Structure 1
């Protein structure tokens, strides 16, 4: 009998497709092909076996004799031996004189084309809808330009290494160069062990040559011309093999590299997971100058494959659905920069792919789907859960230690060895060997932060009988105080929703979060409640009743604060209005929405929310120390018509001289209205009124510890504006120093609106200190923050402040001209008249003009 030949088997696979009139096989064709084979031969090859044969399913072993015999009979031969003999007659054995570079290229291209087709067919998104990656071109340009023999693309599972490489190989083949590309996936290397040969000999035999024939061709520069030989292995990872098998392959591959590294025509290209490279690079990178590592994007993981950038995400979306028009927010888009998560989302929405379904909880749904399919429904599911629970139990949350020493958990891993290997193979866990000459050090880590945070949340809930209550919140507060805290809390909230524990949301007021974290949580909760509300027809009675009642005070007032003002915050407040709220809560919610409209300088939205507020009975506003409707009307009248609403500002004057303490509103609601009223005083540009108002607030409102950073931050920023009008550099500097001290410690905790106020203060102080060189940098930082949050109000006031400065115009006329243009464009886009913004020294003339236009009302002077 003729022995098994990988090259002839690839030819047989091709003949089977020809006989079936299948030009490019897909997984769905395997069932039909199985039927065709049975119809002709009356022998059965299962659909699953055919998927293994054509690379759609993983197989550690070569096909059985029965399979190849039946395939040969299907093609009209007596069997495998007869097929091999016929191929020998068609392709007589070559001799040295007939062996050339082109023959080698043809044989290699057959193998490469099969590998490409198999990998393309396994793509989660149809390969024709995937995109090229520019980083690959940059990587190869540097690699080929230097004196390198080998390179590696190293990244965790799901970074898109394989698909990106397939695109590059396709383009390389289409270029028509003299290069030879021999491309394998790691599963194909299993045949090395089955053949009993050395990797180098096996490759040459696969190409149809003996070592003597082939070597002469490779070294003959006249036949090779400028061609290069690319030996590419995709997914060269140790989890694919037994340990001894992988080590044998690794050593043989190293021998090949060592033999050819002095020849510039030979190029070795590998893709592997980061952990695998870290664990084995000491065996591969012994000749460092010959290895090109590319552009490392993550030093801790030694990753040189970047995630998708925004432009790539947009390109991929258009490739999938050319009619897509909806845009995606940057913070949400960042959830899809991971190709694996993009793939999950595509599978859920492939029939109508759009980002209309994307929100801040989407990534949590995608990770949940992955864990369900790969962990809960996979092999050894129970063992996996027990292993993960025990691993989390040995972590040190308090000190931020989320990885484990393999030596310390060796017995645990041995107990659940099958589960551990499964979790390693899917990328849920990874091993990183960072041993040195003085100690062995191998760490077991989670594949990414999403997997880690999900598992910790599940552990906390399992230990608490799956209840999300104050006990869980206290544990999170006491033990977790780093970047993982908020995501873990979000996973707990997701669990609460899916298990019907919505009432537990009232407990969120007990969680300790920074303003930025709280802002993210509020937006997350808004999207989550919106999703629940929009699917009420599919929900159980408990969820329906949840929205039929008034939102509890604990949950409702958790959402309020001037620091949260942003575009996404609008969706959250709109969702709150879907509850059966009391009139006072509706007024507060619409006040929040109107505040966002002011921040966005959206005149139409201001009008809409004012109309809604005016529909409430006047008695409902009696409980407010400062009427929010009057406050919003004053701001609207100024931006719409340039009119200063004197009766409202007179009421504020009365308030700060005789502050009312008869107010039963929640502190958070009061703070929003107080700050809104205080900032409305900037319209008058009367600094003493602002300072008196701030002093008046101190007598009636004592913010709690939770509000000390955000509420006091805005009050100090408001006071700094007043002292800036008074040209009191000492006070402005003092306020800046006190804010900067806290801001430096809490910079990562500040929300976008808080950052905008801080940069505005830095610009004002720079003007007062004649430090005009620093203004441009601060202005750029401010613009970036404002653009991300949709804050046009801060832009407007900063532009106006800078244009009122004569020194800036003299020192940097180009910057002055650009600011003037930006302000004019901003006002035009928002439909605001430029005439309402005048220099401070002209304010008196404007007020006198308004007094004249109002008939000389004697009460007008009270505003001053």
Structure 2
């Protein structure tokens, strides 16, 4: 009886497909093939067995002799022995015929087509809906133009290496040239060990030639006609093999490379994970060998596969759903530019794909879903959780060490070997080896920050008996900062929501976050609470949670002028779902009205003013100044150009006779800052400065800190000094603001940064620092024009540029025409009069 031969078995698989009338096979076809075999042979080869045979299901063992005989009979042979003998005879016959490049191309094309089909069937998003990636064209263009024999496409798991490569191979096959592509995945390399053959010999066997033939002699023919031979191996990663097997595969690939590197027609292309490249690049590169590495970013995370660009996200969305009209916001896209996360989102929404539901919580939901399916469910789930906790246990948060020494985990790895390698294979963790001559340094770390921060959050909660309390907040404050702190905190908040610990949200005021981080967290909370509120019918505890006033500390934490942007409205509306006091409801509607002003949404402003007017006069006694009168004054001016003197009389009384005691609070900050801005309508800088001086004396003194309130007050004073011609004072304040930004960028929200840039432009005009004005004007103008979140600031600055054209000796006419067009267009769309901005005083002469 003939022993099992992987080479002949691959041939038999092709014969089965031909007999079944299939050019390629998909998982769904296995059921059909099972029926065909049963009908013809009266013997059954199950659908599951066929899926194992064709690589759609994992198989540890070779097919049984019964299966081999049945498949051979289906292909009109007497059995497996008969099939092998006839194939061997055919092989001998082929070796006596002349080999040529065209025949080689045909044989390689069959293998490549099979590999492509198998890989396409495994894509998370249907392959026909995926897109070509520009980076891979750029990579291969540089590789093929240079004097290189081999290249590597390296990136972490889930970056889309394989899909991008498939598109490139597809396009290459469609080109009418003499190039040959032999493409297979690392799964196929396991056949080397099952057959006991060398990769080079095995490759020749796949192409239909005997192992005695020399491939150099075969390929170095005149018939080649300048054609090149591309050997492409996808997924050369250590987790796919046992340690000794992977090293053997790598050695044989390096041998092939070394043997052919002097032949310019031979090109070797490998794809692998970044961690594999880090651990083995010293073996692969071999000193000064002609390897093209690509565009590696950093030493600790080499990758020449970029994440999706905004344009690629749009293109992919249209490919999936051509009817889509709305696209993802840029700030949210930063989380969805990861191909793996986009794939998760597609799986959840493939029936009616749209980006309308994407918000600041979505990426966390996707990660949770991935961890549920890949870690918490299935075989070895408890072991995997234990391994994850053990890895986190080895980290030193205080020293910013977020990896675990492999030596410290060696016993655990041996004991939980299956769980450990499962985590490696799904890309949840990775191994890194940075050993040097005198030190062994191998570590285990999480494959990306999302997995790391999730695991840290679960570890901290578990150590804190799963309670979201002050002890947990204190621990997070002590050990973390920046984006990592914010993300760990978000995971803990999600857990608190899911476990009914919502009362603990009052503790958020104890988190030490920068203003920008706090803004991010507030938007996240708004989206999270909104989603939870939408499922009230299923969550009785949440119903009770919203049937109460929002605590003062939490309310103040979520409230502030600095947070105003397009997404902040959702957070404010979420606050309204609580049973708030009249004072808090007035403040929320005041903030919503302010947001409408900044966005020049006059219809919404009218709605909020009507709501605010429905509160009784008594409700406004708690405020030092009436927010309703303040906003009404602003509305009348913007809409009709009317100056309501009643409110300004109230402001005059305030700064001549201020209250004896003014409580320092977030709500009072908001009221005073809005009032100070409204005072500028009068175009009397001294009046505004007098009001600000009263606030500094009786409310909050303004210092040199990066306090948000101080920032807005200094901004107002800077502009009023410019109007008065006190340019030196304005420059000093502008310098203080600029220095504060340089020292602590994270303290500035998008609104604050937009305002700061606007004042910089004004100071430059007034201080006559115009030497480079012609060069910078267009850049400034474009930055202002492209500002979509803050339309009021946009038209205010465009009007400033239009009023001060004379400040530049030769202003570019083209630029000013464009500025004028955008200004008038924006004002018209908002239903406002242009003259209310254009009639303001110009800069001091």
Structure 1 and Structure 2 fold alike (TM over 0.5)? yes
Alignment of 1:157-176 (within 5 A): 157-176=157-176
1:154 paired residue number: 154
Pick from 756, 759, 762: which aligns with 2:757? 759
CA 1:659–1:162 in structure 2 vs 1: closer, same or farther (change >3 Å)? Answer: same
Distance 1:777 1:399 in 2: 44
1:285 paired residue number: 285
1:345 paired residue number: 345
Distance 2:389 2:788 in 1: 39
Distance 1:704 1:474 in 2: 30
Range moving further from structure 2, 5-14 or 543-552: 5-14
2:725 paired residue number: 727
Range moving further from structure 2, 814-823 or 426-435: 814-823
2:768 paired residue number: 770
1:717-769 Cα offsets, whole Å, 9 max, x none, are: 11111111112122112212222222112113311001012112221222233
Distance 1:212 1:385 in 2: 51
Range moving further from structure 2, 17-26 or 554-563: 17-26
Range moving further from structure 2, 381-390 or 323-332: 381-390
1:579 paired residue number: 578
Q: Secondary structure at the match of 1:824?
A: helix
Structure 2 residue runs of 5 or longer lacking an equivalent are none
Shift of 1:606: 1.4
1:612 paired residue number: 611
Range moving further from structure 2, 233-242 or 435-444: 435-444
CA 1:788–1:165 in structure 2 vs 1: closer, same or farther (change >3 Å)? Answer: farther
Shift of 1:594: 1.0
Alignment of 1:548-559 (within 5 A): 548-559=547-558
Tell me if 1:626 matches 2:625: yes
CA 1:787–1:454 in structure 2 vs 1: closer, same or farther (change >3 Å)? Answer: farther
Q: Secondary structure at the match of 2:823?
A: helix
Q: Secondary structure at the match of 1:407?
A: helix
Range moving further from structure 2, 204-213 or 626-635: 204-213
Q: Secondary structure at the match of 1:398?
A: helix
Pick from 665, 679, 685: which aligns with 1:667? 665
CA 1:162–1:705 in structure 2 vs 1: closer, same or farther (change >3 Å)? Answer: farther
Range moving further from structure 2, 524-533 or 770-779: 770-779
Distance 2:662 2:532 in 1: 34
Tell me if 1:564 matches 2:563: yes
2:125 paired residue number: 125
CA 1:31–1:808 in structure 2 vs 1: closer, same or farther (change >3 Å)? Answer: farther
1:710 paired residue number: 708
Range moving further from structure 2, 116-125 or 410-419: 410-419
Shift of 1:547: 2.3
Range moving further from structure 2, 76-85 or 157-166: 76-85
Q: Give the TM-score of the pair, scaled to structure 1.
A: 0.93
1:563–1:753 contact (8 Å) kept in structure 2? yes
1:457–1:491 contact (8 Å) kept in structure 2? yes
1:434–1:441 contact (8 Å) kept in structure 2? yes
Structure 1 residue runs of 5 or longer lacking an equivalent are 845-864
Q: Secondary structure at the match of 1:123?
A: coil
Distance 1:570 1:839 in 2: 32
Divergent runs of 4+, >6 A = 89-92, 703-707
Distance 1:34 1:546 in 2: 57
2:589–2:608 contact (8 Å) kept in structure 1? yes
Distance 1:663 1:22 in 2: 83
Shift of 1:663: 6.4
Shift of 1:358: 1.1
Q: Secondary structure at the match of 2:398?
A: coil
Distance 1:43 1:109 in 2: 33
Distance 1:706 1:187 in 2: 63
Shift of 1:810: 1.9
Tell me if 1:389 matches 2:379: no
2:799 paired residue number: 800
1:753–1:789 contact (8 Å) kept in structure 2? no
1:272-314 Cα offsets, whole Å, 9 max, x none, are: 0001011111111115451111222444311000111111111
Alignment of 1:102-501 (within 5 A): 102-215=102-215, 218-288=218-288, 290-501=290-501
Q: Secondary structure at the match of 1:567?
A: coil
CA 1:409–1:771 in structure 2 vs 1: closer, same or farther (change >3 Å)? Answer: farther
CA 1:7–1:777 in structure 2 vs 1: closer, same or farther (change >3 Å)? Answer: farther
Shift of 1:38: 4.2
Shift of 1:6: 4.1
Q: Secondary structure at the match of 1:178?
A: coil
1:847 paired residue number: none
User: Pairwise CA RMSD of aligned residues?
Assistant: 2.5
Shift of 1:39: 5.1
1:379-428 Cα offsets, whole Å, 9 max, x none, are: 32222222222222232222322123323443444443333222222111
The alignment covers a number of residue pairs equal to 842
Q: Secondary structure at the match of 1:445?
A: strand
CA 1:307–1:497 in structure 2 vs 1: closer, same or farther (change >3 Å)? Answer: same
Distance 1:774 1:798 in 2: 19
Distance 1:200 1:708 in 2: 66
Distance 2:18 2:468 in 1: 60
1:476–1:485 contact (8 Å) kept in structure 2? yes
Distance 2:72 2:783 in 1: 66
Shift of 1:95: 3.4
Shift of 1:50: 2.0
Distance 1:522 1:272 in 2: 39
1:855 paired residue number: none
Distance 1:560 1:503 in 2: 18
2:790 paired residue number: 791
2:781–2:819 contact (8 Å) kept in structure 1? no
Q: Give the TM-score of the pair, scaled to structure 2.
A: 0.95
Tell me if 1:749 matches 2:747: yes
Tell me if 1:689 matches 2:687: yes
Distance 2:745 2:778 in 1: 18
Tell me if 1:503 matches 2:488: no
1:326-373 Cα offsets, whole Å, 9 max, x none, are: 221111122221111111111111111111221111100110111111
Distance 1:134 1:32 in 2: 39
Distance 2:59 2:104 in 1: 27
1:529 paired residue number: 529
Distance 2:13 2:628 in 1: 77
Shift of 1:781: 6.6
1:99–1:217 contact (8 Å) kept in structure 2? no
Shift of 1:26: 2.4
Distance 1:811 1:782 in 2: 16
Distance 1:661 1:786 in 2: 45
CA 1:210–1:14 in structure 2 vs 1: closer, same or farther (change >3 Å)? Answer: closer
Distance 2:719 2:703 in 1: 25
Q: Secondary structure at the match of 2:275?
A: helix
CA 1:784–1:410 in structure 2 vs 1: closer, same or farther (change >3 Å)? Answer: farther
Q: Secondary structure at the match of 2:184?
A: strand
Shift of 1:637: 1.1
1:105–1:181 contact (8 Å) kept in structure 2? yes
Range moving further from structure 2, 781-790 or 761-770: 781-790
CA 1:397–1:661 in structure 2 vs 1: closer, same or farther (change >3 Å)? Answer: farther
1:29-72 Cα offsets, whole Å, 9 max, x none, are: 33444455445545443433322222223445543433322222
Range moving further from structure 2, 185-194 or 1-10: 1-10
